[in-house]
Chain A
Amino acid sequence: MSTYVEARDVAAAVAAMADGARPVAGGTDLVVGARHGKAPLPESIVGIHRIPGLDGISVADGVVRIGALTSHAAILSSPELASATAGLLDASAIVGSHATRANGTLGGNVMNASPAMDTGAPLLCHDASVVLTGPGGTRRVGLAELWTGPGKTSASPDELMEAVELPLPPEGAGSAYVRLQYRRQMEIAVVGAAAYVEVSDGAVSAARVAITALTPVICRVPGSEEALVGRRLGSNDSVSGENPAVWTQTTEIGDAIHAAGQAAAAAATPISDVRASAGYRTAMAAVVTRRAVTAALTRATGGSVTVPASDWSER
């Protein structure tokens, strides 16, 4: 007998989950996946989409908090996130279609733990963690510890994800996410990469790079990060966010961006399937990484990169 209940608060949801119910938010992974025969619909389901307070975006005490029920569409229209976590907007902007973005939630995207999820790489680069509440209380888990395999998390089945939290980036930071796109809507990540950089005194002071759909779990690429940190963006007058081509190709940073791309390609362990060959995926890992880093640096240096950066960086 399958059952469906709707939770009115977090406690009720957690109680239902402790009784074996699976939470459903937008249902765009769970229900659609079941229809496709990916996995049967769970016997017992608890609807969490009407729990008050589980959506919404706030910035306080240097922490950006995004409620689990926040839809991709809501992320896209948030001015706070636009300035703080542009890379997340790049991701939410290209999730599925208008309908998917209106219904799909950040919580569902992150907890579904697909290696092709779009918000994963930018959130990882923003050092995000999730707030999990179970019968025993609330804990915070970093994303690198959360995702343990394709479709697998370290959250226990009775833990509800309440929010994603990430540190408010300082001045001079920028992030971006770029995905290879065969068409403009309804794509799935075949290759993607995110970058987060901090620029101070004309040099990269911090860098985080992560790749999507290229490894069993979305992961950071230390080699790409090392290639970038400490690199100078070139002389002051050539640092022009408006025209990144000038400084990315002719200076020290251009070589570093190239090396970051190569490191991402080396870190990738792609498969060959109907979507792309492993060889093409590897080559594209370098390309999207270079583009993500370039877009992040452009934003960090005050340049304008329209959302989604995937479109912006098409050549």
Chain B
Amino acid sequence: MTVTEERPTAEQQGTFIRPDGKEKVTGLGRYTADVNLTGQAHAAFRFADHPHARITRIDTSAARAIPGVYAVVTHEDVPENLYGGMVQDRLLFAKDTVRWEGDVVAGVAARTQAIAREAAAAIVVEYDVLPALPDFVANAQPGAPLVHPEWTAYDADDDLSREGNVVGHSTILKGDVDAAMETADVVVTSRFVADASQGAPIEPRAILAQWTGDRVTVWTSTQVPFAARDGVAHTLGIPQSHVRVIVPLLGGGFGSKCDFHFEAHVAALAEAAGRPVKLVFSRREEFLAPDHRREGMVLEFETGATKDGHLVARRATLHLDKGAYTGEGGFFAQMAAMHACGPYELDNVAVRAMLTYSTNQPSSSIRAPTAPQTCWALEQHMDQVAAAVGLDPVELRRRTLIRQGSHGPTGQVFDEIGMLDTLEAAVEMIGYGQELPDDEAIGVACGWWPSMASPSGAYVKLNGDGTGTIVTGAQECGTGAVMALPILAAEQLGMRPDDFSILYQDTDAGPWDMGASGSQTTFNNGRAVVAAAQEVRAQLLQMAAEKLEIDPADLELVDGTVRAVGAPSTSVTIAELAGTGTPLLGKGSGDLPENPPTDIPSACVGRLGLDSFLAPQLITHAARVKVDRETGVVRVLAFAAAHDSGVIVNKIGADGQVYGGVMMGIGQALSEATYFDEEGRQRNPGLLDYKLQTASDGPRIDVRWIEVDTPNAGPKGSKGVGEPPSVPTSGAVGNAIAQVVGRHVTQLPMTAERVWTTIQDVQEEAK
């Protein structure tokens, strides 16, 4: 992969490389699976034998009789506490019903993993098999058989609009769509289908639990340590203070390790076994068992436009596959509805999104949940609108994208934003309009993603030699927080970023944080670190003022010293101050930015606070692709990514997010899908047939940051960075393919066979 730098490199800028990088790439890094405790047992699960069935009998006696088995745990051995982020609809161990092939019926702890697996298989589970309900569109119809017949009894977020299998119904209604459609010169309708996909982290998840008295320590590969801790406490019915979650190095997550997953299962096994218990998933289990993958979708769009390129009205109906349980993914309908509007000026909108239960693997947040698929469909639809009104696709976007002062689709009025600049930058970088061979073309797509405000906390303390330690609740999963946080602390204290160590993640040490999710670690925890460092700064200034007998207002912190402004020789080093034994300790969380107001009618349902986008991250991607017309194989030859993520706090980290995000986006565009059989069983639960892109497939990726100093945002006017790089990627690739093929491929991923089939269709019709 060739990477070009538009600006000086991080080192040239004085920023620094991630301190945990070397241990990770040299294999010295220690991940959860590398942690071992004396006397530990190994865990295995018995998963559901049918995607949908009533359990009539569970008999664990044969499994318990196998030599080397220490414990077998079922629903009988844990409290009957339903859990789930937005709807409490799941039990740790299935009791009456299994609702997907990965439902856990029982767990075993044994001397070796082989014995544990053998014992799990020896558990007798009898079922009355129920018809599988994999079709989420059919499940949304009134009268469809219910995945959760007891849904009304569940505790749930009050703002969710639920009905039967529909866990989340969300609408955006604005203006008068019927009347406006009448005024359109053209009305374009499109239908798209997106397959499910996966986060597919390199590290399959691992958990190790050890009890000391009535308290449990859990080492786990999670992106969200506090959610994991709270899940253990809630499901096992113990106080949060009795659960300590520690996260060693994390081998990627991409969203799939958000939420509480198997920590309580392993803790329950460890308690029953009376010894530490360790669970390490195989690659196959990593595909099949987590209630966490990207949702499949069916999307229908109708847009009315005028010949001069004005979008007069948009209708859209979106169906999203929730799978068997809600987890933290209850907000998907509203998020998808926002992406069905996109970053465009729209006065008349009628969007309806339904997030619906099925007996498939549950979906939950994977990098920018709902956005890549919805954006892929919308942006291809936009190219179809452009063709219908006879405008170049870039020109149509130029005329319709939001800009400063625009009223967005929900009436949000935008501050200064760089949306149009990202369009112009991407188009320039890719060389839009250049002569290309007839099997190559360029596609462009635009997208957006909100910055997410959340409470967050950090402590900053100084050591006796003048170095510092950041104790944070934030989690690092490759997002670069290990770089951004020291950079921000160092700036406040006149120190260097590598003067700091970071302690993460130990829930007994750091303050609460939502975890590595929502593109928000630097956005929120950065603010907390700055606030904590400012407390230390005040302490240092006070101490120095006393020592130097100068007013604190006349002092500055530079190069590890506190010195008089204008008289640098009057100074004291931070080490001297910190070495006196007086604790230098700051804590902080900072003030939360507030979501901008909207003017959509209150009649809209499923409003969970996402109808305005705080500090919106704005993106244009452009892809140059080559299509092999005989095989349908698509190669992405060059890629341009222009992002308004506000002011960039740490360029090397931000660039890294774009390179990785674009590669993930290209995978989703061309090759990554989880295919289900007619019963909802995964057909390709492994890396042989779940086709990630490889480094050799990576195109040249040019990155440009449109640095808008954004008010009401993160530290230094920054927005989020992590999720947007995957948002418009597949849309750009799809539009490029359509330029070559003469028609849009309507299924995601746009596999070679699907592209080839589209080519065949076009040729058939030409005959």
Contacts and interface: CB of A to CB of B under 8 A. Distances in A.
12 contacts: A36-B686, A97-B694, A181-B633, A183-B691, A183-B697, A185-B694, A186-B687, A273-B683, A277-B753, A314-B631, A315-B628, A315-B629
A181 B675 CA distance: 19
Nearest to B630: A287
Nearest to A35: B282
Interface string A156-193: 00000000000000000000000011111110100000
A186 B630 contact: no
A275 interface: yes
B631 A186 contact: no
Interface in A123-167: none
A314 B633 contact: yes
A312 interface: no
A180 B689 contact: no
Contacts of A97: 694
Contacts of B687: 186
Contacts of A246: none
A188 B688 contact: yes
Interface string B352-374: 00000000000000000000000
Given A274-B675, A275-B689, A283-B756, A182 B694 contact: no
Max chain A CB contacts within 10 Å: which of B630, B694, B756? B630
A314 B633 CA distance: 9
A180 B683 CA distance: 21
B439 interface: yes
A183 B671 contact: yes
Given A274-B684, A283-B756, A314 B689 contact: no
A63 interface: no
A280 B693 contact: no
B696 interface: yes
A11 interface: no
Interface of B: 284, 439, 626, 628-631, 633, 635, 670-671, 675, 683-684, 686-689, 691, 693-697, 751-753, 756-757
A192 B687 CA distance: 21
Contact of A180 (B684, B694, B752): B752
B656 to A, nearest CB: 21
A39 interface: no
A276 interface: yes
Given A36-B686, A183-B691, A185-B695, 9 more contacts: A37-B284, A180-B752, A183-B671, A184-B694, A186-B694, A274-B689, A275-B689, A314-B626, A314-B631
Top 7 nearest A-B pairs by Cβ distance?
A184-B696, A185-B694, A280-B753, A274-B683, A185-B696, A287-B630, A274-B684
Nearest to A275: B689
B697 A184 contact: yes
A175 to B, nearest CB: 21
B751 A182 contact: yes
Nearest to A184: B696
Contact of A183 (B631, B694, B757): B694
A275 B673 CA distance: 11
A88 interface: no
B675 A284 contact: no
B609 to A, nearest CB: 39
Nearest to B754: A280
B758 to A, nearest CB: 12
B732 to A, nearest CB: 19
Contacts of A183: 671, 691, 693-694, 696-697
Interface string A238-252: 000000000000000
A180 B675 contact: no
Nearest to A37: B284
A36 B694 CA distance: 21
A287 B683 contact: no
A307 to B, nearest CB: 15
B697 A314 contact: no
A188 B671 CA distance: 14
Contacts of B635: 314
B671 A182 contact: yes
Nearest to A186: B694
B633 to A, nearest CB: 7
Contacts of A276: 753
B756 A180 contact: no
Contacts of A287: 630-631
A273 to B, nearest CB: 8
B671 to A, nearest CB: 6
Contacts of A315: 439, 628-631
A37 B685 CA distance: 13
Interface centre among B671, B686, B693 (most CB of A within 10 A): B693
Given A280-B756, A315-B628, A180 B686 contact: no
Interface string A39-79: 00000000000000000000000000000000000000000
Nearest to B632: A280
A97 B631 CA distance: 23
Interface string A252-279: 0000000000000000000001111100
A178 B164 CA distance: 52
A184 B689 CA distance: 14
Contacts of B757: 280
Contacts of A181: 633
Contacts of A314: 626, 628, 631, 633, 635
A188 B687 CA distance: 11
A315 B752 CA distance: 13
Contacts of B752: 180, 182
Interface string A282-297: 0110010000000000
B761 to A, nearest CB: 13
A180 B755 CA distance: 14
B688 A180 contact: no
B729 to A, nearest CB: 16
B139 to A, nearest CB: 24
B198 to A, nearest CB: 14
